Amino acid sequence: MTLKSQLFRGDPKLEACLVQDAAHITQGAIGAHVSKIQAALIRLDSADIASGEEANSSYGPSTANAVLEYKQARNVINRSYQTQADNIVGKMTIKKMDDELDELEKAEKQVIIKNAFEASRQSLRVVLPILDGLTVFIDLVAGLQAGPIKTVLLGLLNATQARNIAVLSTRLLVPRDPLSPLFRDALRKARDIIQQNLNDSSNIIDQGNIGRCNPNQFNPPGVPFAATQRTDPDPRVSVCTPFFAAYLIGA
Protein backbone atom coordinates (compact mmCIF):
# COMPACT_ATOMS: atom_id res chain seq x y z
CA MET A 1 0.00 0.00 0.00
CA THR A 2 1.34 3.41 -1.00
CA LEU A 3 0.17 7.00 -0.82
CA LYS A 4 -1.74 8.38 -3.82
CA SER A 5 -1.85 12.13 -3.52
CA GLN A 6 0.63 14.29 -5.38
CA LEU A 7 1.52 16.09 -2.15
CA PHE A 8 2.29 12.97 -0.11
CA ARG A 9 3.34 10.19 -2.45
CA GLY A 10 6.99 9.29 -2.62
CA ASP A 11 7.91 10.92 0.69
CA PRO A 12 9.80 8.18 2.60
CA LYS A 13 8.64 9.26 6.06
CA LEU A 14 5.01 9.67 5.05
CA GLU A 15 5.05 6.36 3.16
CA ALA A 16 6.49 4.69 6.27
CA CYS A 17 3.84 6.34 8.45
CA LEU A 18 1.17 4.66 6.32
CA VAL A 19 2.37 1.14 7.10
CA GLN A 20 4.49 1.23 10.26
CA ASP A 21 3.33 1.99 13.80
CA ALA A 22 6.88 2.98 14.71
CA ALA A 23 6.82 5.65 12.01
CA HIS A 24 3.97 7.68 13.50
CA ILE A 25 4.63 11.43 13.33
CA THR A 26 4.34 13.28 16.61
CA GLN A 27 4.89 16.67 18.14
CA GLY A 28 8.58 17.63 18.01
CA ALA A 29 9.18 16.21 14.53
CA ILE A 30 10.93 18.44 12.02
CA GLY A 31 11.39 18.09 8.27
CA ALA A 32 9.86 18.22 4.81
CA HIS A 33 7.32 15.55 5.76
CA VAL A 34 5.98 17.83 8.50
CA SER A 35 5.75 20.71 6.04
CA LYS A 36 3.62 18.51 3.77
CA ILE A 37 1.31 17.61 6.65
CA GLN A 38 0.94 21.31 7.45
CA ALA A 39 0.17 22.06 3.80
CA ALA A 40 -2.45 19.31 3.78
CA LEU A 41 -4.12 20.66 6.92
CA ILE A 42 -4.24 24.14 5.43
CA ARG A 43 -5.69 22.87 2.15
CA LEU A 44 -8.22 20.54 3.71
CA ASP A 45 -9.25 22.49 6.81
CA SER A 46 -7.82 26.01 6.40
CA ALA A 47 -5.83 25.21 9.53
CA ASP A 48 -4.14 28.03 11.41
CA ILE A 49 -0.48 26.96 11.62
CA ALA A 50 1.94 29.25 13.46
CA SER A 51 4.23 31.04 11.01
CA GLY A 52 7.33 29.92 12.92
CA GLU A 53 6.31 26.26 12.66
CA GLU A 54 5.66 26.62 8.92
CA ALA A 55 9.01 28.34 8.40
CA ASN A 56 10.88 25.65 10.34
CA SER A 57 8.78 22.71 9.14
CA SER A 58 8.29 21.84 12.81
CA TYR A 59 5.49 19.84 14.39
CA GLY A 60 4.80 22.33 17.16
CA PRO A 61 1.74 23.08 19.29
CA SER A 62 -0.32 24.72 16.53
CA THR A 63 0.37 21.86 14.12
CA ALA A 64 -0.52 19.33 16.81
CA ASN A 65 -3.74 21.22 17.55
CA ALA A 66 -4.62 21.32 13.84
CA VAL A 67 -4.06 17.54 13.61
CA LEU A 68 -6.29 17.02 16.64
CA GLU A 69 -9.07 19.18 15.19
CA TYR A 70 -8.77 17.40 11.84
CA LYS A 71 -9.15 14.00 13.51
CA GLN A 72 -11.98 15.12 15.77
CA ALA A 73 -13.95 16.51 12.84
CA ARG A 74 -13.68 13.16 11.04
CA ASN A 75 -13.84 10.88 14.06
CA VAL A 76 -10.42 9.37 13.28
CA ILE A 77 -10.00 7.12 16.32
CA ASN A 78 -8.33 3.73 16.61
CA ARG A 79 -11.06 1.98 18.58
CA SER A 80 -8.74 -0.90 19.48
CA TYR A 81 -7.10 1.25 22.14
CA GLN A 82 -8.58 4.77 21.97
CA THR A 83 -11.82 6.44 23.00
CA GLN A 84 -10.98 9.87 21.60
CA ALA A 85 -8.81 11.45 18.91
CA ASP A 86 -5.21 12.44 19.61
CA ASN A 87 -2.79 14.84 17.91
CA ILE A 88 -0.58 12.17 16.31
CA VAL A 89 -0.38 11.43 12.59
CA GLY A 90 -0.50 7.66 12.36
CA LYS A 91 -1.65 5.08 9.82
CA MET A 92 -5.33 6.01 9.88
CA THR A 93 -4.68 9.75 9.86
CA ILE A 94 -2.18 9.78 7.01
CA LYS A 95 -4.47 7.55 4.92
CA LYS A 96 -7.47 9.77 5.59
CA MET A 97 -5.52 12.88 4.66
CA ASP A 98 -4.11 11.20 1.57
CA ASP A 99 -7.54 10.04 0.39
CA GLU A 100 -8.98 13.53 0.81
CA LEU A 101 -6.01 15.17 -0.91
CA ASP A 102 -6.22 12.72 -3.79
CA GLU A 103 -9.90 13.54 -4.34
CA LEU A 104 -9.22 17.27 -4.06
CA GLU A 105 -6.31 17.09 -6.51
CA LYS A 106 -8.45 15.13 -8.99
CA ALA A 107 -11.20 17.76 -8.75
CA GLU A 108 -8.68 20.57 -9.22
CA LYS A 109 -7.24 18.83 -12.27
CA GLN A 110 -10.70 18.52 -13.79
CA VAL A 111 -11.16 22.27 -13.38
CA ILE A 112 -7.80 22.84 -15.10
CA ILE A 113 -8.79 20.49 -17.94
CA LYS A 114 -12.15 22.25 -18.31
CA ASN A 115 -10.52 25.68 -18.39
CA ALA A 116 -7.91 24.54 -20.91
CA PHE A 117 -10.62 23.01 -23.09
CA GLU A 118 -12.68 26.19 -22.98
CA ALA A 119 -9.62 28.27 -23.83
CA SER A 120 -8.98 26.05 -26.85
CA ARG A 121 -12.56 26.67 -28.03
CA GLN A 122 -12.17 30.43 -27.88
CA SER A 123 -10.10 30.66 -31.05
CA LEU A 124 -12.63 28.48 -32.88
CA ARG A 125 -15.44 30.77 -31.77
CA VAL A 126 -13.52 33.69 -33.24
CA VAL A 127 -12.75 31.93 -36.53
CA LEU A 128 -16.22 30.47 -37.21
CA PRO A 129 -18.07 33.77 -37.86
CA ILE A 130 -15.17 34.92 -40.05
CA LEU A 131 -15.54 31.81 -42.21
CA ASP A 132 -19.31 32.18 -42.22
CA GLY A 133 -19.02 35.77 -43.41
CA LEU A 134 -16.53 34.80 -46.09
CA THR A 135 -18.80 31.97 -47.25
CA VAL A 136 -21.80 34.30 -47.54
CA PHE A 137 -19.76 36.84 -49.50
CA ILE A 138 -18.38 34.19 -51.88
CA ASP A 139 -21.83 32.65 -52.41
CA LEU A 140 -23.26 36.09 -53.17
CA VAL A 141 -20.62 36.87 -55.79
CA ALA A 142 -20.70 33.36 -57.27
CA GLY A 143 -24.46 33.57 -57.72
CA LEU A 144 -24.32 36.72 -59.85
CA GLN A 145 -24.38 36.79 -63.60
CA ALA A 146 -21.21 37.99 -65.30
CA GLY A 147 -21.22 41.74 -65.59
CA PRO A 148 -20.09 45.01 -63.98
CA ILE A 149 -21.75 44.32 -60.61
CA LYS A 150 -20.10 40.93 -60.27
CA THR A 151 -16.75 42.41 -61.28
CA VAL A 152 -17.01 45.16 -58.66
CA LEU A 153 -18.09 42.79 -55.90
CA LEU A 154 -15.39 40.26 -56.79
CA GLY A 155 -12.82 43.03 -56.54
CA LEU A 156 -14.27 44.05 -53.16
CA LEU A 157 -14.19 40.43 -52.01
CA ASN A 158 -10.54 40.03 -52.93
CA ALA A 159 -9.63 43.37 -51.37
CA THR A 160 -11.46 43.05 -48.04
CA GLN A 161 -10.84 39.32 -47.58
CA ALA A 162 -7.31 39.17 -49.02
CA ARG A 163 -5.64 37.92 -45.84
CA ASN A 164 -8.32 35.30 -45.09
CA ILE A 165 -8.25 34.05 -48.68
CA ALA A 166 -4.45 33.84 -48.63
CA VAL A 167 -4.35 31.96 -45.32
CA LEU A 168 -7.01 29.48 -46.40
CA SER A 169 -5.34 28.93 -49.75
CA THR A 170 -1.98 28.25 -48.09
CA ARG A 171 -3.28 26.10 -45.26
CA LEU A 172 -5.81 24.10 -47.25
CA LEU A 173 -3.59 23.75 -50.37
CA VAL A 174 -6.15 25.13 -52.79
CA PRO A 175 -6.04 27.86 -55.48
CA ARG A 176 -6.28 31.45 -54.27
CA ASP A 177 -9.35 32.02 -56.44
CA PRO A 178 -12.23 32.22 -53.93
CA LEU A 179 -14.80 31.33 -56.60
CA SER A 180 -13.06 28.12 -57.62
CA PRO A 181 -14.83 24.88 -56.71
CA LEU A 182 -11.72 23.64 -54.86
CA PHE A 183 -11.53 26.74 -52.66
CA ARG A 184 -15.25 26.76 -51.89
CA ASP A 185 -15.32 23.05 -51.06
CA ALA A 186 -12.28 23.35 -48.79
CA LEU A 187 -13.81 26.37 -47.06
CA ARG A 188 -17.03 24.46 -46.45
CA LYS A 189 -15.19 21.46 -45.02
CA ALA A 190 -13.04 23.64 -42.76
CA ARG A 191 -16.11 25.43 -41.49
CA ASP A 192 -17.92 22.12 -40.84
CA ILE A 193 -14.94 20.69 -38.92
CA ILE A 194 -14.75 23.78 -36.71
CA GLN A 195 -18.48 23.61 -36.00
CA GLN A 196 -18.18 19.91 -35.18
CA ASN A 197 -15.33 20.62 -32.76
CA LEU A 198 -17.39 23.30 -31.05
CA ASN A 199 -20.30 20.88 -30.72
CA ASP A 200 -18.14 18.11 -29.28
CA SER A 201 -17.70 17.70 -25.54
CA SER A 202 -14.24 17.39 -24.01
CA ASN A 203 -12.38 14.19 -24.90
CA ILE A 204 -9.48 14.91 -22.54
CA ILE A 205 -8.49 12.68 -19.62
CA ASP A 206 -5.82 12.96 -16.94
CA GLN A 207 -3.37 10.05 -17.07
CA GLY A 208 -0.47 11.48 -15.08
CA ASN A 209 2.41 9.18 -16.07
CA ILE A 210 0.50 6.02 -17.03
CA GLY A 211 -1.39 4.87 -20.11
CA ARG A 212 -0.60 7.12 -23.07
CA CYS A 213 1.59 9.18 -20.70
CA ASN A 214 3.81 6.22 -19.80
CA PRO A 215 7.40 7.49 -20.25
CA ASN A 216 8.62 4.08 -21.47
CA GLN A 217 6.65 4.49 -24.70
CA PHE A 218 8.92 7.29 -25.88
CA ASN A 219 12.50 7.46 -27.09
CA PRO A 220 14.20 8.81 -25.11
CA PRO A 221 11.90 7.86 -22.20
CA GLY A 222 10.06 10.73 -20.56
CA VAL A 223 6.59 11.86 -19.56
CA PRO A 224 5.13 14.06 -22.33
CA PHE A 225 3.02 17.19 -21.96
CA ALA A 226 0.08 15.41 -23.63
CA ALA A 227 -0.43 12.36 -25.83
CA THR A 228 -2.94 11.03 -28.32
CA GLN A 229 -3.37 8.28 -30.86
CA ARG A 230 -5.56 8.64 -33.94
CA THR A 231 -6.82 5.07 -33.58
CA ASP A 232 -7.78 5.39 -29.90
CA PRO A 233 -11.46 5.56 -28.92
CA ASP A 234 -12.71 8.62 -27.04
CA PRO A 235 -11.57 10.06 -24.74
CA ARG A 236 -8.74 10.38 -27.22
CA VAL A 237 -6.44 12.97 -25.63
CA SER A 238 -4.44 12.40 -22.45
CA VAL A 239 -2.88 15.22 -20.48
CA CYS A 240 0.14 14.20 -18.44
CA THR A 241 1.83 15.35 -15.24
CA PRO A 242 3.92 18.11 -16.91
CA PHE A 243 0.73 19.66 -18.32
CA PHE A 244 -0.59 20.49 -14.87
CA ALA A 245 2.78 21.74 -13.65
CA ALA A 246 3.02 24.10 -16.65
CA TYR A 247 -0.55 25.26 -16.20
CA LEU A 248 -0.04 26.08 -12.52
CA ILE A 249 3.22 27.88 -13.22
CA GLY A 250 1.50 30.02 -15.81
CA ALA A 251 -1.54 30.69 -13.64
pLDDT digits 0-9 by tens, 170-189: 999 999 999 999 999 999 99
The answer to whether residue 195 is domain-embedded is: yes
| Res 220: pLDDT | 87
Domain that holds residue 209: 203-250
According to the model, what pLDDT value does residue 248 have?
59
Domain match, 140 and 192 both = yes
In a shared domain, residues 141 and 176? yes
Per-residue pLDDT, 247: 65
Rounded to two decimals, the pTM is 0.67
Residue 228's pLDDT band (cuts 50, 70, 90): confident
Identify whether 137 is part of a domain: yes
* Antiparallel, parallel or unpaired: β 237-240 and 204-208: parallel
Same domain, 128 and 141: yes
Query: How far apart (Å, rounded) are the C-alpha atoms in residues 101 and 163?
Result: 50
Q: Amino acid identity, residue 46?
A: S
Asked if residue 17 is part of any domain, the answer here is: no
Q: How many Cβ atoms are within 10 Å of 96's Cβ, its own excluded?
A: 16
**Which pLDDT tens digit goes with each residue over 98-112?**
999 999 998 988 888
**Domain assignment of residue 108, yes or no:** no
Q: Are residues 179 and 237 in the same domain?
A: no
Q: Is the pLDDT reported for residue 51 higher than 90?
A: yes
186 and 137 together in one domain: yes
Same domain, 244 and 209: yes
Residue 101 lies in a domain: no
Considering its fold, how many domains does the chain have in total?
Answer: 3
Residue 105 lies in a domain: no
Q: Answer whether residue 18 is part of any domain.
A: no
Q: Mean pLDDT across the chain, nearest whole number?
A: 92
